[in-house]
Structure 1
Amino acid sequence: MNICVFLSAADLDERYTRPARALGELIGRGGHTLVWGGSDTGLMKVVADGAHETGGRLVGISVEFLRGFARTGADELVVATDLAERKALLLARSDAVLVLAGGLGTLDEVTEILELRKHGLHDKPVVLLNTAGFYDGLTQQLRRMEAEGFLPVPLDTLVHVADEPADALAYLERLPTAPQVR
């Protein structure tokens, strides 16, 4: 499975690096491909290191103005001209999306992916990895949107929330439409 992971390129505390590393290792051990922002810094580096060191394939989708931070040695590196093209390429190259802790860029990515899914413009599963309760506020807001009629589809058809990396990946691998590793 080609798994897109949205997450921060910032260097963060162990409570975020540990789950990012664990997820990368699970992706690699599962024979999956990591599709990510291509950066060799912060959590992006951590998840890529974990995937690479356990046999996963790395497909980085960077952007021209961040090219200097791109990971050398990725199996494939694509450089988009702008952030909009980068998001489109990340989605196009993936079978599923996992969202880890991140800042404004990650928030932008996850809301766009959910909006596209809401309109039926993709049917790829989306999972929020709620490390240390990081996405508690977002999930509360999404539940309120659903309860008050702002979402035309049930929330659980848009996004799945998991607290642990193993649970997030297991959810994706259980889906009947999940591509199987050959």
Structure 2
Amino acid sequence: MNICVFLSAADLPERYTRPTREFAELLGKGGHTLVWGGSDVGLMKVLADGVQKAGGRLVGVSVDFLQDTARAGADEMVVARDLAERKALLLEKADGIVIMVGGTGTLDEATEILELRKHGKHTKPVVLLNSAGFYDGLKEQFRRMDDEGFLPLPLTDLVFFAEEPVGALAYLEESFGTA
């Protein structure tokens, strides 16, 4: 399965790198392909290193202005013109999406994916991996949107919240009947 992961390219504390390493190992050992932003820095590097070390494939989608941080040695690397094209290519190449910890770029990617899903423009499963409670506030906001009628479909149909890497991968594999 091709699993797109949106996450930070920043160097972050162990409470975030540990689940990233765990998820990477699960992906690689499961024979999955990582589809990611192509960067070889921060958590993106931790993830790519782990997937590759555990035997998985790497498909990166970088963007012109970030080529200097693109990972050498990926199985495939595509360079998009801009961030909009990058997001479209990442989604196109993915069978499922996992949103891990990140900043404004990750939040932008997450909300765009969820908006497309909300409108039926894609049906690929989406998991929000809530490492160290990072997305507790966002989870609460989504629940409020759901409770107050702002979402045209139930929150559970929009995104699956996982607290640990094993739960995130299990959800995706169950979605595809590969568990």
TM-score computed with the length of structure 2 as normaliser: 0.98
Q: How does 1:163-178 map to 2 (within 5 A)?
A: 163-175=163-175, 178=176
Post-superposition shift, 1:30?
0.3
- Match of 2:153? 153
Query: Aligned pair 1:41/2:45, yes or no?
Result: no
- Match of 1:22? 22
- Match of 2:86? 86
SS at structure 1 position matched to 2:39: coil
Where does the alignment leave 5 or more consecutive residues of structure 1 unmatched?
none
- Match of 2:59? 59
Post-superposition shift, 1:180?
4.4
Counterpart CA distance in 2 for 1:105 and 1:82 is 13
RMSD after superposition? 1.0
How many corresponding residue pairs? 179
Counterpart CA distance in 2 for 1:115 and 1:141 is 15
SS at structure 1 position matched to 2:58: strand
- Match of 2:5? 5
Deviating above 3 A after TM superposition, structure 1's stretches of 4 or more consecutive aligned residues are none
- Match of 1:76? 76
Q: Which amino acid aligns with 1:163?
A: E
Post-superposition shift, 1:125?
0.3
- Match of 1:162? 162
Q: Which amino acid aligns with 1:167?
A: G
Where does the alignment leave 5 or more consecutive residues of structure 2 unmatched?
none
1:76-107 Cα distance to aligned partner (Å, 9 max, x none): 00000000000000000000000100000000
Post-superposition shift, 1:147?
0.7
